[in-house]
Structure 1
Amino acid sequence: MAQESAAQYEPVAEIGGGAYGTVYKARDRDSGQFVALKSVRVQTNQDGLPLSTVREVALLKRLEQFDHPNIVRYRTHTDTHTLSHTDTRIHTHRHAHTDRQTRDGLPLATVREDLMQQLLCGLAFLHSNRVLHRDLKPENILVTSRGQVKLADFGLARIYSCHMALTPVVVTLWYRSPEVLLQTTYATPLDIWSTGCIFAEMFRRKPLFCGDSEVDQLSKIFAVIGLPAEDEWPTDVTLSRQNFSPQAPQPITDCLPEISEKGAGLLLDMLTFDPLKRISALNALEHPFFTE
């Protein structure tokens, strides 16, 4: 693909930001097409690009050959401080169509057919290629003007290997899985937990677990799913199960009265404490929730 200059794109609106840069909705001055343009912050005393940016470009170029409909596509630039994701006519970055809905959340059919099925398709594709996203949150899910869901922002993504040295610096706190919060080993199920949190947020219009520290986040999780049994608690962590009060699981419908029975079942399969028992993206796509 031919290289292009970042000047070719006209920023229209800011749609997200973080430690490594800011993402804008931008218009291609030549074609009129809208793209997601990521402006990467580079310190003046830093040689080259941040590792997260190099990793993101490498992964997207690796996945580009598959041209999956639910993964953003990378477009090269002569300006190395910017990334653009093409074929991404952004409608909104946080919960598709929320600007057209009530404050009570999205309709069940919209969540099921328009969002979750596509999100899981993209995630199943990543996991089948041994890619962990590691930073799934509403801001990293783009929706095109044609209603196509695109997973974006692969700055923390990694190729999964059972021998890799994993780091706890993954996933915004509110979407972190218990194994990440406890700083034990993790794999693809961590993305499923984050997806479950996003699933619930589509109905609530606010995060399901809003902790202000790792311990507080775990406490808020256990207040809903209950304190795990002693034999489920990881043995290689410093935080003891005794630090938490015994709690029984609460009906998920108390938090999400609008969700269907089968939707609640899928959500609980995603928000399972033990990652080995957590549903996979492929199996989630076969869940009765999508055929009810």
Structure 2
Amino acid sequence: MAHGTSIQYDPVAEIGGGAYGTVYKARDIESGQFVALKSVHVRTDQNGLPVSTVREVALLKRLEQFDHPNVVRLMDVCATKGANQETKVTLVFEHVDQDLKTYLEKAPAPGLSPDRIKDLMKQLLCGLAFLHSNRVMHRDLKPENILVTSQGQVKLADFGLARIYSCHMALTPVVVTLWYRPPEVLLQSSYATPVDIWSTGCIFAEMFRRKPLFCGESEMDQLGKIFEVIGLPPEEEWPTDVTLSRKNFPTLTARPITDFVPEINEHGAQLLLKMLTFDPLNRISALNALEHEYFRDEATSTQTKS
């Protein structure tokens, strides 16, 4: 981990302040290219080493070697020691001008074309399949964390940082949105890579709707909004390691997903439901989602068979 190399970067503008600290657009003085700087304050052990952070960053740096087109590049890491057992870690990422939230807002009415949505989804799932195959969970996928370049290339950002951030989170009162969180996280059950698939399903629906699918105001409210769409799951699917009982929710049956996402085609609706499956073990994986019929529709007309 490089120390104190942040002098190399000249901040140009503040991009945004989130729950995880401020993000700056900066210029790399040596190369002249734009980068995104994110700084987090992390707690350290007796030796002044932010243990989990070093581990997480090492993992992110390892991903860097693959240079995946749908994953934002981590270009540098700078650590500076602060006072009272805190270290400031600055992560230097490639800079992309807009996120999916802005991209969707900027799309002229009636919104993105079905083909454009399919292309964005395919890229998103490619990036996710890459992360998951390298045992990296995103854990906080939402339109603000999906970057879209001016050429329409999708890049996942902020992945693998959830654990680095969680200790920083203790220091900040900002509420992180619940809208893309899967039931197992809302119920505080154990979770794994399927969390990201649920979030991707929410984003898939939002690309058609141009507004979020589930806008809950608390964990309980969020679960209620989810069950209004997918129905209350059967008792045997309810996780056993949670305090919240299934009895807290009214018995609801699933409604057709097209009631909520009318513009989606039949194969798209099938894929969406496989992503918005309550039981994470039955939820489709990123790799299997890429093989879904939805991506094969019109594939023959747009590509000559090799």
Query: In structure 1, what residue type is equivalent to 2:198?
Result: W
- SS, match of residue 214 in structure 2: coil
Root mean square deviation of aligned Cα: 2.9
Q: Which residue does 1:134 correspond to in 2?
A: 139
> Paired residue for 1:221?
226
The reply to whether residue 155 of structure 1 matches residue 161 of structure 2 is yes
Larger Rg: 2
Question: SS where residue 162 of structure 2 aligns?
Answer: coil
**TM-score (ref. length: structure 1):** 0.83
Whether the aligned pair in 2 keeps the contact of 1:134 and 1:157 (CA below 8 Å) is no
Q: TM-score, normalised by structure 2?
A: 0.80
Aligned-residue offset at 1:236:
2.2
Q: Which residue of 2 is the match for residue 84 of structure 1?
A: 92
Q: How high is the sequence identity, in percent, across the aligned residues?
A: 70
1: CA distance, partners of 2:14 / 2:194: 31
Deviation (angstroms), 1:134? 1.0
Decide which moves more: 48-57 or 240-249: 48-57
Is contact 1:56-1:156 (8 Å) kept?
Answer: no
Distance in 2 of aligned mates of 1:34 and 1:99: 24
Which residue number corresponds to residue 97 of structure 1?
103
The equivalent position to 2:118 in structure 1, one of 112, 121, 134, is 112
1:3-82 to 2 correspondences below 5 Å: 5-41=5-41, 54=54, 56-78=56-78, 80=80, 81-82=89-90
Distance 1:179 1:58, change over 3 A: same
Q: Which amino acid aligns with 2:135?
A: R
Given the superposition, is the C-alpha separation of residues 289 and 24 from structure 1 closer, same or farther in structure 2, using an over 3 Å criterion? farther
Provide the rounded CA distance (Å) in 2 between the counterparts of 1:147 and 1:11.
Answer: 26
Instruction: Find the counterpart in structure 2 of residue 234 from structure 1.
Output: 239
23 and 239 in structure 1: CA distance in 2 versus 1, 3 angstrom threshold = same
User: Where in structure 2 are the equivalents of 1:151-230 lying within 5 Å?
Assistant: 151-153=156-158, 154-156=160-162, 172-230=177-235
C-alpha distance 51-139 of structure 1, shift in aligned 2 (>3 A): farther
Is this contact kept in 2: 1:15–1:93, CA < 8 A? no
Query: Aligned runs of 1:266-277 on 2, under 5 Å?
Result: 266-277=271-282
Q: Distance in 2 between matches of 1:50 and 1:248?
A: 47
Q: Which runs of 5+ in 1 are unaligned?
A: 159-169
- The alpha-carbon deviation at position 242 of structure 1 amounts to 1.1
Distance 1:156 1:77 in 2: 16
Cα distance in 1, alignment partners of residues 231 and 57 from structure 2: 40
* TM-aligned CA deviation for residue 27 of structure 1: 3.5
- Deviation string 1:213-244 (CA, Å, 9 cap, x unpaired) is 11111000000111111221122222111111
Decide whether aligned partners of structure 1 residues 231 and 99 sit closer, same or farther in structure 2, where only a CA change above 3 A counts: closer
The 8 Å contact of residues 134 and 171 in structure 1, kept in 2 or not, is answered as no
Q: Hey, what's the Cα distance between the residues in 2 that align with 1:278 and 1:141?
A: 21
Number of corresponding residues: 276
| Counterpart contact for 1:55–1:155, Cα < 8 Å | no
What code does the residue aligned with 1:67 have? D
Q: In structure 2, how many angstroms separate the alpha carbons of the residues matched to 1:50 and 1:206?
A: 39
Q: Rate the CA distance shift 1:64–1:246 in 2: closer, same or farther, 3 A.
A: same
Cα separation, 1, equivalents of 2:187 and 2:142: 19
* Contact 1:106-1:202 within 8 A present in 2 as well: yes
CA 1:15–1:199 in 2, change beyond 3 Å: closer, same or farther? farther
Give the conservation status (yes or no) of the 8 Å contact 1:70–1:118. Answer: yes
Residues 2, 78 of structure 2: 8 Å contact kept: no
CA deviations 1:148-184 (Å, max 9, x no partner) are 21111132169xxxxxxxxxxx974111111111111
Tell me if the contact between 1:176 and 1:193 (Cα under 8 Å) persists in the aligned partners.
Answer: yes
The SS at the match of 2:220 is helix
Q: Which runs of 5+ in 2 are unaligned?
A: 81-88, 165-174, 298-306
